[in-house]
Amino acid sequence: MPSSQPQEDHGPRAVRVAPTTGPSQGPARPDREFTVEARSQSRLILRRFLRHKLAVASLVVFIAVVLFAFAGGAVWHYSYDQLTPDISVPPSLRHPFGTDSTGIDLMAMVMRGTQRSLEIALFVALTATCVGTVYGAIAGYYRGVYDTLMMRFVDLVLTFPTIAVAAILGSQVGTSAGSWFFIGIILAALTWPIVARVVRGSVLSLREKEFIEAARALGARDRRIIFGHLVPNVMGPVIVSVTILVATAILSETGLSFIGFGVRPPDTSLGLLVSQAQTAVSTRPWLFYFPGAFIILIVLSINFIGDGLRDAFDPTTTRVRS
Partner 1 sequence: MFAYAVRRLIISIPVLLTSTFLVFLMVSLSGDPLADLRARQPPPPESVLRAQAHELRLDQPMLERYWHWISGIPRGDFGPSVQNINIGHELWIRFGVTMRLVLLAVLLAAIIAGVVGVVSAAKQYSPTDYALTGLGFLFLAMPVFWFAILLKQLAVNINLQTGHTIFYTIGDRSIETTGGLAAQIGDIAGHLILPTIVLAITSFASWSRFNRASMLEVLSSDYVLLARAKGLPRRQVLVRHALRTALAPMVTVMSMDFAAFFSGAIVTETVFQWHGMGDLLLTSIQLRDVYPVLAWLLIAGSAVILMNLIADLLYALLDPRIRYA
What residues make contact with partner 1 under the rule CB under 8 A?
Answer: 152, 155-156, 158-165, 167-169, 171-172, 247, 251-252, 254-255, 258-261, 271, 274-275, 278, 281-282, 288, 292, 295-296, 298-300, 303-304, 319-320, 322
DSSP SS3 for 105? strand
Q: How far apart are CA 203 and CA 290, in angstroms?
A: 43
Residue 117 beta carbon to partner 1: minimum distance, rounded to whole angstroms: 11
Phi, psi of 247 (to 5 degrees): -60, -50
Residue 312 beta carbon to partner 1: minimum distance, rounded to whole angstroms: 17
Burial of 195 (0-12, 13-18, 19+ CB in 10 A): buried
What single-letter amino acid sits at 299?
V
Residue 112 beta carbon to partner 1: minimum distance, rounded to whole angstroms: 18
Contact yes or no for 229/213 (Cβ under 8 A) = no
Residue 51 beta carbon to partner 1: minimum distance, rounded to whole angstroms: 17
| Residue 231 vs 305, nearer CB to partner 1 | 305
Q: How far apart are CA 296 and CA 293, in angstroms?
A: 5
| Residue 131 vs 214, nearer CB to partner 1 | 131
| Residue 58 vs 129, nearer CB to partner 1 | 58
Residue 290 beta carbon to partner 1: minimum distance, rounded to whole angstroms: 11
Please name which of 227, 162, 237, 159 lies closest in space to residue 196, comparing C-alpha atoms: 237
What single-letter amino acid sits at 124?
V
| Residue 123 vs 258, nearer CB to partner 1 | 258
Per-position DSSP letters for 1-70, written without gaps between them:
----TGGGTTTHHHHHH-GGG-TTS-S-PPPPSS------HHHHHHHHHHH-HHHHHHHHHHHHHHHHHH
| Residue 63 vs 164, nearer CB to partner 1 | 164
Residue 261 beta carbon to partner 1: minimum distance, rounded to whole angstroms: 7
